[in-house]
Structure 1
Amino acid sequence: MSDAAAQSSSPRQSPTAPSARVDTDRAGYQHAPEHSIDGPDDVTIHEQDIVASAAPNAGQSQQESAAEISGDAEKLPARHSNNLQDQTNYLPVRQILIVFAAMQLAVLLSFLDQSMLSSALPTISAHFGAGRSSSWVASAYLLTTTAFQPILGRFSDIFGRKLTLQGCILVFTIGSVACGVAQTMKQLIFFRALAGVGGGGLITLVFIIVSDIVSLKDRGKYQGITEMTIILANCAGPIIGGVFAQTLSWRWIFWLTVIIAPSQCAAARRAYEVSKIFSYTDLPHVLSVGIVIVQIFLPLKAVKGSMRTKLAQIDYVGSLLTIGACTLILLPLNWGGVTFAWNSPRVLGCLIGGFVCLVVFILYEWKVPKIPVIPMYIFKIRTAASVFASTTISGGTLVAQVFYFPQFLQIVRGVSPIRSGVLFIPLLMMVTLMVFCTGQGVARTGEYKVFIVCSYAIWSIGLGLLSTLNESSSTAKLVGFLIITGFGQGQTLQSSLVAVQAAVQRADMSVATSTRNFLRAFGGTLSLAIASTIINNTLKHTLLPEGFEGSLVGKIIDSPTEIWRATTVDGQTLFALPAQQKVEIIAAYVEGFRVVFIVFASLQAFNFVITMNFMERLNLVRKDEEALKVRGT
């Protein structure tokens, strides 16, 4: 590489280089300048060599190619990423489809495992008699999913996508099988946390791998399909979970992993055989016996370097601080007002400790590690920051919908687990339709902001309408409100990922993706704790003044659906309720769910304001991508 070419890619080309100026073309799209803001002096981006070797006769200079590779948004120096190997490997469409189909099987199983719990959770609570801690069956999974997503995203940079993905699949399978044989609520919560470590990494890696093999403008289509798979699992899961809970056993939710595994392995093997016809040049060829779910054969670059070197690159302190902060913040949110008083030493101590860990994490990641779990400089990028903020909120809203709307139907309306799942079908259909249309729209027009802004506005309206539902609301009204909610929700799921990837340099793509998914999962975990706290505290504050004994309120919280039947699953009488008390309990739950929906409707309105005012329209077409496609054929 010539000195001139190297100089053109340096983040400090000259003392007078513009620091964060963004130009706007005739179409209104914004383009970042060719120079980054000040960064370390030793940064050199080498990707122009890739373009030059793939298309040596292209009509643009190496300097121009390097500028395009770095991204079309506000550019900040990828100061840590030059120590990591670029794993971009664009593929022809037919090869993408083979790899993509195999990955969707793993995504489907991971989210089915998670969403089937929503309709079966009341049954599980009654089985163990532990309704107060039942939310931790979901929260434990989401907590570890949250904490480990950025860690595993960074592991994929260090150890390679394939090895990290295989490890996640193995951990997820072991955790799920263990859940199926759990004998106590504590065991179930622990094994759900273990499964969450693998499940969270699996999802993040699928999005990262799609970004490795597909150009920026086309990612909307493929990421949209992945989101459709997730939505399908989230919406079909409650139906399947309800069937298992009502007709077989809730344990089948976890044993389903073992049943589906052979078909996934067969699909992976078939993908491998077909891929050989299409002349894959770097396919892994070993199917590990210990992995039960799937072995995905991926034509990805092997990351070079010794294991000692790779282990030395891990940010151990940052990883521990991430896990510690997430745990210490989320634990007291589940305890507060239910297990312990909000002003109790345990709750206050954990909250203070969690926020201290968070502050230490930010300062440490900003100043110390060479390869941080989350580089703080990506939060200086305006569009990326708006995506991170809005995704945290929307992730929480999505998870709260999936877990608490079926419970609303079962507790307030007395419907069966199967029926509560079936009533989710309208949401499934509308969200699936909008995800597909949005993905195609982003790919064809290069526009994502309009979809995101409209999404949050409509989603907020839909949630506001859901807050008006009660025990006497008609099914037609319920279905109509779900359709409106789904129309808004479906437009943001994949378009926000395209936005954040457009806002960063290619070297930061994986960490931006994992950070976005981390914050979405953190929002989901936070929302479960918040919604559970709102509902349980509303129940206490409403029923205790009406003369209900504290022990009776505790029984109701532990087994809420038992108000609709006289006996427990063990055939023993739980509590006999006069008709008037039953009406008061249902009214208290209606109020609790109403507050939950209003809170999340307000948060989606806040998202509308954030994205409308801070998100930019960035050009999704990068000149170097054609050369990278040529190299991948």
Structure 2
Amino acid sequence: MADENRVGTSLPDKTCKLSSDAQVEETGDDTTNYELKGLPLALIIIGLGLAIFLMSLDSSIISTAIPVITSQFNSTGDIAWYGSAYSFAMCALQPIAGKLFGSFPMKGVFLACLAVFELGSLLCALSINSPMLIIGRAIAGAGAAGCFTGAFCIVAASLPLEKRPVYVGILQSTFGVATIIGPLLGGAFTQHATWRWCFWINLPLGAITIITLVCFFKPPARDTIKSPSIVERLKGLDVPGAFMFAPSIIMILLALQWGGTTYPWKSATIIGLFLGSAGLGVVFALWQIYRKEKAMIPPRLITDRTLFFACFTEFFAMGAVYISIYYLPEWFQVIKGASPTKSGVMYLPLALSDVLSATLTGASLKYLGYPNPYVLLGTALMSIATGLFSTFSTTTNHQHWIPFQVIQGLGVGMTLSMPYVATQTTLKPADIPVGTSLLQCFQFLGAAVNLAIAESIFQNKIVTRLSDLGFDGTEIEAILSAGSADVRKAVSPTRLSDALEAYNYALTRTFYVATSVGAVAFLLSLGMRWKSIKPPKSQSPSPDLEAK
């Protein structure tokens, strides 16, 4: 049955009211008790999970198709933009997406964002040249920004707090799975069909999400007497703030992408990007303080202790996750000689344990009540596992790298979804969209920043280690130019063991970064307020459980 159980009526004071049976949804102007159950809930979770899967897939599926795309469009110089156009737009637009979900009906906003993502995918699939593909990627990224935030907002609006964690965990775990499957699918499409199917696939699968939301997600009607007008809502979006925030984020992401590769870290271009990002960031912060409650990110949210520490916990935890995602398959390919497809299979212990851990964590949280222990244990496991990765040698076998990955996967599954739950115990319902978008933004930023640090260390260590082992400048350049896939072809058989030893040394140094940021995430998670998702047993049907 598509109708939801609805309890209560509009509350004029717009405070957060919880009961064990229903969660009040506040959509920026009104508050109504509302809960999804049964088949509608199952179908909507499937639809939302599919949407997040597609958005995550789009960030990695193109990697194995890029060589063919650059050959077709003669666009080797645009390689970096095929990935960054998507991720830049997705990261830079997160806060404004949160503001949209807090100001307008979330069903309509989510469907609009999904339509934008589908439009971008269509443009990519129909691309006749490189600029068209890049524009399509940016449009898809803009839509993905809203869908990531919106999926978690819909879960928050559809379920009481104590029932959300398992579904938040399921949605979060699809991210890691898609990141691993993406290159495998991209390679299969490119080899057996066409690279354009990397984008065509989004259209029919996205349509499934649209159908489930249109048919089964029926939020309570708004009180049109109290609702602000469309003009007032548009004014409340803080468009000037968005135009300050987005360029600031894009500049720092460009600096991280170009630094050490396209330009030296000490070049005027990189320094200018960092300074420009910092300067515009300061202006943005002052503007938010001036706007107060009308700001894109109201300053009072930053002072919420749980949200503040949750954001930085996600920042560093996601760094540990992404370093594993990028450098473990690299280790499998270079040191173990695995193909890209086989390296993805070898990564499955981490991906599968992540999904299992996230699901079990969400299911058990309703009994424990507090998300904090999961974050503490999860970040500790991540730090331990990546520390174990750093012990890899050229002779390490599956008896070590499989259980080490399982430890990492268990930690990731416990960690990434719980800060979302923790913040929802302290934020008002109307603040959840912006809070969720901030968590998403810090996740993506953490991945970019920590990956850049790891990449810089890798590039430095591989060169110095090869030099220490007696390779001259010409040989080192040949090895680096060959890339990880062809490193075995770039050196003579007599020097292969030395080259692999150098690669192993450099790759394991990146896991030092992951270990460190995992430990920092552990320490930061201590700052989150301990608040149970369970309503007190003595609670009356509609008490105010807002954390002061």
TMscore range, shorter length: 0.7 to 0.9
Instruction: Render the CA deviation track for 1:389-427: whole Å, top value 9, x for unaligned.
Output: 101111222233323332332233331121111112211
CA–CA separation in structure 1 for the residues paired with 2:309 and 2:351: 27
Partner of 2:546: none
Look up the SS of the partner of 2:34 in the other structure. Answer: coil
Q: Is the 8 A contact 1:391 1:516 kept in 2?
A: yes
Look up the SS of the partner of 1:218 in the other structure. Answer: helix
Q: Is the 8 A contact 1:396 1:528 kept in 2?
A: yes
Distance 1:240 1:67, change over 3 A: closer
Distance 1:222 1:260, change over 3 A: closer
Look up the SS of the partner of 2:308 in the other structure. Answer: helix
Q: Is the 8 A contact 1:173 1:195 kept in 2?
A: yes
Look up the SS of the partner of 1:460 in the other structure. Answer: helix
Q: Report the alpha carbon displacement of residue 466 of structure 1 after superposing the two structures with TM.
A: 1.4
Match of 2:508 among 585, 594, 605: 594
Match of 2:533 among 620, 623, 627: 620
CA–CA separation in structure 1 for the residues paired with 2:127 and 2:488: 27
Partner of 1:475: 398
CA–CA separation in structure 1 for the residues paired with 2:134 and 2:457: 22
AA matched with 2:219: P
Q: TM-score, normalised by structure 1?
A: 0.74
- For residues 270-419 of structure 1, what are the structure 2 equivalents within 5 Å? 272=215, 275=216, 297-299=217-219, 301=221, 304-368=227-291, 370-419=293-342
Matched, 1:97 2:11: no
Distance 1:241 1:385, change over 3 A: same
Distance 1:101 1:299, change over 3 A: farther
- Aligned residue pairs total 526
Q: Report the alpha carbon displacement of residue 320 of structure 1 after superposing the two structures with TM.
A: 1.2
AA matched with 1:219: R
Partner of 2:165: 220
Q: Is the 8 A contact 1:150 1:515 kept in 2?
A: yes
Partner of 1:162: 107
Distance 1:121 1:486, change over 3 A: farther
CA–CA separation in structure 2 for the residues paired with 1:125 and 1:470: 35
Match of 1:205 among 150, 153, 157: 150
Judge which range, 375-384 or 395-404, deviates more.
395-404
CA–CA separation in structure 2 for the residues paired with 1:246 and 1:106: 25
Unaligned runs of 5+ in 2: 1-5, 20-25, 544-548
- For residues 169-208 of structure 1, what are the structure 2 equivalents within 5 Å? 169-180=114-125, 188-208=133-153
Matched, 1:505 2:505: no
- For residues 449-464 of structure 1, what are the structure 2 equivalents within 5 Å? 449-464=372-387
Q: Report the alpha carbon displacement of residue 548 of structure 1 after superposing the two structures with TM.
A: 4.4
Instruction: Render the CA deviation track for 1:372-403: whole Å, top value 9, x for unaligned.
Output: 12122222222222111101111222233323
CA–CA separation in structure 1 for the residues paired with 2:248 and 2:45: 34
Instruction: Render the CA deviation track for 1:274-331: whole Å, top value 9, x for unaligned.
Output: x5xxxxxxxxxxxxxxxxxxxxx54354584443222222212210111111111121
Q: Is the 8 A contact 1:338 1:537 kept in 2?
A: no
Partner of 1:150: 95
Q: How much identity, in percent, do the aligned residues show?
A: 28
CA–CA separation in structure 2 for the residues paired with 1:85 and 1:155: 13
Q: CA RMSD in A?
A: 3.5
Q: TM-score, normalised by structure 2?
A: 0.85
- For residues 217-296 of structure 1, what are the structure 2 equivalents within 5 Å? 217-261=162-206, 268=212, 272=215, 275=216
Judge which range, 360-369 or 135-144, deviates more.
135-144
Distance 1:52 1:473, change over 3 A: closer
Distance 1:114 1:335, change over 3 A: closer
Q: Report the alpha carbon displacement of residue 249 of structure 1 after superposing the two structures with TM.
A: 4.6
CA–CA separation in structure 2 for the residues paired with 1:126 and 1:414: 26
Match of 1:562 among 486, 502, 508: 486
Q: Report the alpha carbon displacement of residue 263 of structure 1 after superposing the two structures with TM.
A: 5.1
Q: Report the alpha carbon displacement of residue 551 of structure 1 after superposing the two structures with TM.
A: 9.8
Q: Report the alpha carbon displacement of residue 184 of structure 1 after superposing the two structures with TM.
A: 6.7
CA–CA separation in structure 2 for the residues paired with 1:330 and 1:493: 22
Instruction: Render the CA deviation track for 1:596-625: whole Å, top value 9, x for unaligned.
Output: 21101111111112223x223113234789
Distance 1:371 1:479, change over 3 A: same
